[in-house]
Chains A and B, each alone.
Chain A
Amino acid sequence: MRRVRAVASVQDLPSEVYGPGNITWWGALGGEVIEGFVVLLGVFAYFYLRNTAPTWPPLHTRLPSLGVPTLNLVLMLLSCAPAWFAARAAKAEDRRSTLIWLLVHSLIGLAILVVRYFEFFALNVRWDASAYGSINWALLFAHGYTAVFDVMDTMGLALLFMFLQPEEKHYVDVTENSFFWYFVVITWIPLFILIFLGPRW
């Protein structure tokens, strides 16, 4: 039997790191890759259907309205601020500020989801009217579903920060939650252009 030789001790290593060193960051990135690719396939389907359609949108279909979707785009862009401030406060391990920004983020997130509901009607087409209607509903829904889960996560973290003394790992979770939220917002920009401006070109 061979002998074992300790070459180093990891005893003094930290129990968490922020950013790409952390496995949670990689988990979030993996989630983004999967979600992002699903959205990309939706975009592929959009162009596939659009290419085979004689007119886009189909005849007698109203163009989508712009008011509500623009409001939501603005809300989403604004929501990056509390996400960013929450992450910054978390890195400083400041419980009070983190909680405040998590609450603001949760509220804007909920507002975005409510506006998302009305956005479906801003499409001015039913999902079952045509393939045009179906793919636009699908893109809106797919993105909305991702947003719902991140808002749920934000609210969960807000609850945790409200009722428990957070551990270091929970501060890391806040930064990863913001990281995922940026992804939700960034993917929305091309989708907004595609869904609401696309039919106008």
Chain B
Amino acid sequence: MTARPLGEEITLPPAIDEADRARLHATWEPVTGFMGWLKSVNHKSVGKRYICTALVFFLLGGLEAAAMRAQLARPDNTLIGPDLYNQIFTMHGSTMMFLFAVPIMTAIGIYLVPLMIGTRNVAFPRLNALGFWMYLFGGIFLYTFFFMNTGPDAGWFNYVPLSGPQYGMGKRVDVWAQMVTFTEISALVAALEMVVTIFKMRAPGMTWGRLPLLVWAQLVTAVMVMFAMSSVATASIMLGADRLIATQFFNPAEGGDVLLWQHLFWFFGHPEVYIIFIPALGMVSQIVTTFSRRPVFGYPAMVAALVATGTVGFGLWVHHMFSTSVHQLGQSYFTAASTMISIPTGVQIFCWIATLWLGRPVWRTPLLFVVGFLVVFMIGGLSGVMLASVPFDVQATDTYFVVAHLHYVLLGGAILPLIGAFYYWYPKVTGRMMSERLGLWNFWLLFVGVNVTFFPMHILGLRGMTRRIYTYPQFMGWGTLNLISTIGAVIIVAGMAVFAVNLFVSLKRGALAGANPWGADTLEWATSSPPPPYNFVNIPVITSREGIWAYGEEIPVMTGLKTDRPETLITTTMTTQPLYKHELPAPTLAPLGMAIVIGGLLTAGIFTPWGLPLGSLVVIIPFYFWGWPDKKEHERNLREERERRGEAAAA
């Protein structure tokens, strides 16, 4: 295998002239300015919005974490009282899981997948925009109530009966349950369109065996979201109903069952971890391939590992419930399954190491983050295997050991690769490189900070410090380790500040990137940086798993898509044969209008049971507005259909 030089330029020049190119531009971005922003249904605009919004929530979640670390820095601290502390840790968990981690992983898929599979937009662009608005409104909804001292306070998994009508007073838990509804609508529509996009819109030649690993990861994740989010939706609606209209799902006095909540929640909650983690695995695979300068080692094993992780991920949820009255046989099964999940991850880790070993690694910032990921994630994975054992888990349940484990897994398994991915794809999105020097600072501060913050928590947990306590007395002897942990948090903040500075400064001062600054193999690097609104002038044809590395002197493309309307190519599911030309919708306010109506009904829904039925009636208006054809477009289509029929008849 010959190693490829870094920085090799490959672009797809036009098979059409400049006038056509200008027309394509006008077709794909017909409205500009503020209205254009509100109406946009382009996957790149929506993806960027998602990413920016998720980063804002990341900042808020991070500030909440910092506040908690400040409170716990010394014993008997009175900086934050118990009630606010309850709200802060619930907000931190809910924000990071629902408003940051899942949306940002989705967002990166929304931005990159159409580019990586050689198409021009996602399958349902308006639904995509609706998903973003729902997510944005859900986040605003949650934080509005939080700032009114009505933030959820029963922990991010809201166990009943603490969150039920008997103990969860006021509207705090309802706010949480409804925020889940907002974000679940957003996640479900994004997952649906991701699956359809990947199934039906891959460029000709991009068969399943040639699909980039990040796209595989996004596909597995999207399928997981469809099942996992349905579960939390069911659970949160039941919880809301118990609280609002006195249903008895979780009330043992009337035949309900509190553990039903835990089953439904963790059937979502555990796969949720993989929903965050699997896209990160895809990012790692792309980064390792590019910077090893060779195709990834063991592609079929990698794909099988992703699918296996996604499948087995649904069979582990009860390990969150080992300290409840689970049958012993069940415990044994879930211990075995929880241990088994480390096998596919192990396979991937060995494949990455083999790829690096056989390639010529180029040590740029993204690869550095991948190595950081391997180290931190392996520590988290090992403590996970420890927790899979029932006797150990029963001892460690609800202690800081679990907090240490989950942060090692999530920060190691998702945040480090994610930041690596920012360094890797930033040039594609903005056209400019991020600073390598700041990248080094960013990496080392974060890597050291994560370990200094979270490693002492293992020991604190083993010494009996339980999670979710707002303070602790001095005689417990937890002060020093907590102080070290808080110092670590300060280092993390410094690392993230460097990251933020790098993001902003590089926007103006970063070196110009060109189309393919890393000399990578996947299709997104075959178009300019940032990509034009239509992604590709012509739909490329894929000839090998190596993507654009495999092209010789000529790049094969498909021509014939119209330039005066947003057309794209739909292909067959297995063989990617061109099937039909599909006209995608023009920019429209319908998704925003729909989101406003649904947002209104969901907000009303926490105060009155009539919110849902009445709101559903109102939804009809934007629903019909959405589906009703645009007059000009309609007349044009009818005219063309008539002409086609006339031609066919004449022939």
Contact = CB atoms under 8 A, between A and B. Distances in A.
Interface of A: 1-17, 20-23, 26-27, 30-31, 33-34, 37-38, 41-42, 45, 48-49, 52-53, 58, 127-135, 137-138, 145, 148, 152, 156, 159-160, 164-165, 167-170
Interface in B503-543: 538-539, 541
A6 B241 CA distance: 59
B435 interface: no
A8 B624 CA distance: 39
B245 A128 contact: yes
Interface in B572-622: 572-573, 578-583, 616, 620
Contact of A15 (B10, B242, B583): B583
A5 B556 contact: yes
Nearest to A42: B234
B559 interface: yes
A129 B254 contact: yes
Interface stretch (B223-231, B340-348, B385-393): B223-231
A41 B231 contact: yes
A175 B246 CA distance: 41
A17 B579 contact: yes
A169 B634 CA distance: 11
Nearest to B260: A48
B616 A148 contact: yes
B234 A8 contact: no
B29 to A, nearest CB: 22
A49 to B, nearest CB: 6
Nearest to A51: B257
A175 B9 CA distance: 47
Contacts of A23: 123-124, 196, 200-201, 570, 582
Interface stretch (B12-20, B31-39, B286-294, B409-417): B12-20
Contacts of B539: 10
A152 B623 contact: yes
Nearest to A56: B255
Contacts of A5: 554-557
A169 B630 CA distance: 13
14 contacts: A1-B13, A5-B554, A11-B559, A14-B581, A17-B580, A23-B123, A26-B196, A26-B199, A33-B226, A34-B226, A41-B231, A45-B260, A49-B257, A168-B637
Given A34-B230, A48-B263, A6 B623 contact: no
A38 B257 contact: no
A167 B641 contact: yes
Interface in B170-198: 188, 192-193, 195-196
B238 A6 contact: no
Contacts of B549: none
A10 B555 contact: no
A175 to B, nearest CB: 15
B264 interface: yes
A6 B555 contact: no
B192 A31 contact: yes
Contacts of A169: 637
Interface of B: 9-15, 123-124, 188, 192-193, 195-196, 199-201, 204, 226-227, 230-231, 233-234, 238, 241-242, 245-249, 251, 254-257, 260, 263-264, 267, 538-539, 541, 551-561, 569-570, 572-573, 578-583, 616, 620, 623-624, 627-629, 634, 637-638, 641
A160 B15 contact: no
Contacts of A137: 247
A5 B403 CA distance: 56
A45 B264 contact: yes
Contacts of B124: 23, 27
Contacts of A135: 249
The interface residues of chain A, by DSSP majority, are classed as helix
Contacts of A49: 249, 255-257, 260
Contacts of B245: 127-128
A33 B230 CA distance: 10
Nearest to A58: B255
A130 B623 CA distance: 36
Query: Among the interface residues B201, B638, B641, which one has the most CB atoms of the partner chain A within 10 A?
Result: B641
Contact of A21 (B193, B570, B583): B570
A200 to B, nearest CB: 18
Given A2-B13, A2-B553, A167-B637, 9 more contacts: A2-B554, A4-B555, A10-B539, A21-B572, A23-B570, A45-B264, A52-B255, A128-B245, A168-B641
B435 to A, nearest CB: 28
B538 to A, nearest CB: 7
Contacts of B195: 26, 30
A7 B558 contact: yes
Nearest to B626: A156
Nearest to A159: B624
A130 B113 CA distance: 47
B11 A130 contact: no
Contacts of B552: 2
A128 B249 contact: no
B580 A134 contact: no
A165 B578 CA distance: 29
Nearest to B612: A145
A95 B323 CA distance: 63
A131 B249 contact: yes
A164 to B, nearest CB: 7
Given A131-B251, A156-B627, A34 B580 contact: no
Contact of B256 (A134, A152, A167): A134
Contact of A3 (B193, B247, B554): B554
A131 B256 contact: yes
Contacts of A9: 558-560
Query: Among the interface residues A1, A4, A13, A17, which one has the most CB atoms of the partner chain B within 10 A?
Result: A4
B226 A37 contact: yes
Contacts of B628: 160
A128 B539 CA distance: 57
A38 B184 CA distance: 13
Contacts of B554: 2-5
A9 B634 CA distance: 25
B555 A3 contact: yes
Contacts of A164: 629, 634
Contacts of A159: 624
Query: Among the interface residues A37, A133, A134, A159, which one has the most CB atoms of the partner chain B within 10 A?
Result: A134
Given A10-B578, A34-B230, A2 B558 contact: no
Contacts of A12: 560
Contacts of B579: 13, 17, 21
A67 to B, nearest CB: 25
Contacts of B260: 45, 48-49
Contact of A27 (B123, B541, B553, B560): B123
